[in-house]
Amino acid sequence: MPDPTPKYDNIYVGYSFWLADTEHGNIISPEMWTLLLTIEKAHSISNAAKEMKISYRKAWDMIRHCEEALGFQLFVKLRGGKDGGITTLSPDGEALVAAYHNLVANLEPAFEQYIISFKRTLKGKKV
């Protein structure tokens, strides 16, 4: 009986995007990107860390590393209220999120086309 999965259909190409520099290494990794978006949604580093199933300390270490490399604060913390304060993106943080989102949104379709071309080539089809 022939294999029900056509040749190469079970192969996929994985990729991710990140920002780095020569001094600090990774600045915005996929995990840091998720943390940024989760904090933006939750308005809380603690709640974002819980949602991502990482420690609060790890979240803070990631933020500090990123801020040190970028040279600006990503978040503004507003204290007070009966439920405590909230954490929001700083203006620089908002600009970074918008620019990075735009970068990924423009790169992903191009990568998808290259992946389609790769699979077609594997199967011996003209690209």
pLDDT tens for 99-126 read: 999 999 999 999 999 988 988 888 888 7
What's the pLDDT score for residue 14? Answer: 84
- Among left, alpha and beta (phi > 0; psi -120 to 50; other), residue 51 is alpha
Do 41 and 59 form a contact (C-beta atoms < 8 A)? no
Give the pLDDT score at 81: 65
Q: Domain for residue 17, yes or no?
A: no
The tokens of 18 are what? 């990140």
**Residues 29/18, Cβ–Cβ less than 8 Å:** yes
pLDDT at site 3: 59
Predicted local confidence at residue 126, as pLDDT: 76
Closest CA to 64 of 73, 76, 53, 52: 73
Q: Residue 30 maps to which CATH number?
A: 1.10.10.10
**pLDDT number for residue 83:** 67
Domain total for the chain? Answer: 1
The residue written with tokens 């999965």 in the block is 5
Q: Residue 64 domain-assigned?
A: yes
In a domain, 34, yes or no: yes
| Residue 61 lies inside a defined structural domain of this protein | yes
* Digit-coded pLDDT (tens) for 42-88: 999 999 999 999 999 999 999 999 999 999 999 998 886 666 789 99
Query: Does 40 map to a domain?
Result: yes
In a domain, 2, yes or no: no
Domain membership of residue 72 (yes or no) is: yes
Which domain range does residue 75 map to?
25-114
Q: Which pair of structure tokens corresponds to residue 86?
A: 């909230």
User: Any idea how long the chain is?
Assistant: 127
Q: How far is CA 74 from CA 56, 110, 119, in A?
A: 16, 29, 40
What are 4-34's pLDDT values in tens digits?
A: 667 777 877 888 889 999 999 999 999 999 9
For the record, the structure tokens of 9 come out as: 């259909």
Q: Is residue 94 part of a domain?
A: yes
